[in-house]
Structure 1
Amino acid sequence: MCGEVQDMAAEEPALRRYYRNTILQYDSLDCALVHHLSNKLANDSVGSGEWYKLLEGVLREPCGGKLVELMRADLQAIMTRDPACEGAAHALLNYKGYLGLQASRVAHELWLRKRRSLALAIQSRVSEIFGMDIHPACRIGRGVMIDHATGVVFGETAVIGDDCTILHGVTLGGTGKDRGDRHPKLGCGILIGAGALILGNIRIGDGCKIAAGSVVLMSLPAHTTAAGVPAKIVGRAMEDKPGCEVDQSLSNVSFFDPRALRARAAGGSGGGGAHAAAVAAAAAAKGVRRDALRVSQASSARGAAEEGAEGGGQAKGAEPVAAAAAADARQEQQQQQQQQRPRPQQRPLRSFM
């Protein structure tokens, strides 16, 4: 990282002193981070020197090694997942989501040691400076990225698993005035889009995706995708860990087709031979999925029944059904092409020196 910062200083001489005071004069990541956080947290009441002693004291305790490991894992997560990240030094100096998360990790350790006044003071300063409100009792796993971070709120009894990615405006909150265990529990590898609200003591399973702006009020099974207000399960996430892939386009989602579900529930209505034959031919030519074929067959049966009642022939509706099947096939082909796009290359976290 020091070599990276030296290159940055050479490119911008006006920031040489800033880079020297924040990173270059320190021999480890944790020392540089503690110094940088101390300057951020400082105010007229508690100066940077006092904050440095407090934060450094926590790192010297038995929990300090674990905290440093979490700091490195979170930094690696940003470098791997965020294409806008210029490097480790860029994230350390400028990513408020990373800085606020590390300050909250220190506050959590203080909370566990019954130093709750200091933990709550850190929470308050993090909220004022970085615009994110994380209760010090909230438990957060390793390799977590909070992107942009503005407006993030994590409640007291919330739990966040490893390898999650959470965007700005996300709330892990309660549903009212309930006391005790009242906040969401997130598994590992979860991706939560911007502005999503997850409320109540519910469980979000491993590998879930939650679309931006959704309001989740119920537990979600593992590897499902939820969207809407209130959120409903709309499909299955195909990635093992969506939080690591960070594909918010939902291209890697196997959607549940409500028409197919209704068709299965109907159990088939019979008839419509010409329609079904036309749909089957188009589906075979274009490689339409089995569910889409069932939907088309069910709709063709209903169309044939309506045409019979009106005195029309069955062959009359075959062409539009075949065209619809061809359109479904084109959409399927586009989704497959999106899924085959190359993934961004992971960049390893280099040593501090």
Structure 2
Amino acid sequence: MGLIRAADVQGGTLHPFEPRRISHRVHEANRRSQLAVGDLVVVLVGRVGDAAIVPPAFHGWNAARTIGIIRAAEPDDAAWLKVWLGSPEVRDWCERRATGSTLHRTLSLAVLRDLPVAVPPVAPRAAFLRAVRLLDEKAVTNRRISDCATALAKAQFVAETRYGAGSAGWPEKPLDTLVTMQVGAAPRPRPDREGSPASEGISFVAPADVLQSSSPHLYGTEHRVPSEKTGVVCDPHSLLLASREDGVQAVMNADLVIAGRNVVVLRPSSGADAYWLLHEIRLRSAELAVAAQGSAGREISRRVLGSTTVRWPPQEVRERFAQLADRLHERARTAQVENEKLSRLRGQLLDSFLSGNFSGMLPF
């Protein structure tokens, strides 16, 4: 039976990249956490407050303890609660009441029950939710485009490494001979006096930012630090690695970032090398977990990781793959940017609705 975890709630939808399974015995022993169509699932650990409505494809699945389940009386009640949980004010409310570290921020169900919820009249709420559904449907399409572009890049990498002409004769090289390697040490920045992350400076990357990224590229993070702050500053096309018990995750940063504690930074000598190694590491995620050490495997050993061998193709192979991968990742990014705009528009619609200015039409 399938299991939904916090990591499977992405962008307001259930989006399990690598679905987990549990036995029938465990599933039956946890009847209270079995999901039904229309349930609202809320992330309680990590990205606290993220929410999604259970579609028919996930009916009967079970939910991990990192997930809270809200079973509303009416479908529109669940849809409204999802919108409400996604508003900036409510997200701030959840974050202020969460406890724990960056990766394991925890919001208890007892606290979530105290969340104040605005209850608008049924008729205007229905009109508003129809507009929101149109935006959400477009966002789902964009996520599929992004996923397909990313999957095509992965498939091309597999084809090159397994079936490419001459691939059997590629030499094996230790990873530390192909990159320079550092480990971030910067502490997580403290919120400003208003309780929000700094609005200016360089993006700060914590292990959670790497592990929770749904994309191979990292385009920005929630937290920023002053540009004059010391730390491991990563140029664009660096590879940022973090680990958990089920594998090592890697992303490529698009802009300057500062690496936080336990983020391993790899600096390839060229963009083509960076693309090749990005896909190599992501493909071997579970295998590379042996390079992790410490509590729950969240600290990567530079020595073990650096000694890991990589089959290294000729430069023309790496450059050809990088050209294709760059175009595919750029298409994925275009879809992501559009979704960021849709998210802002969604927020503007909510503001206009709560202020009584919503006309029932989308502003385009």
Normalising by the residue count of structure 1, what TM-score does the alignment of the two structures yield? 0.25
Greater percentage in helix? 1
Normalising by the residue count of structure 2, what TM-score does the alignment of the two structures yield? 0.25
- Select the structure with the greater relative contact order (CA < 8 A; seq sep ≥ 6): 2
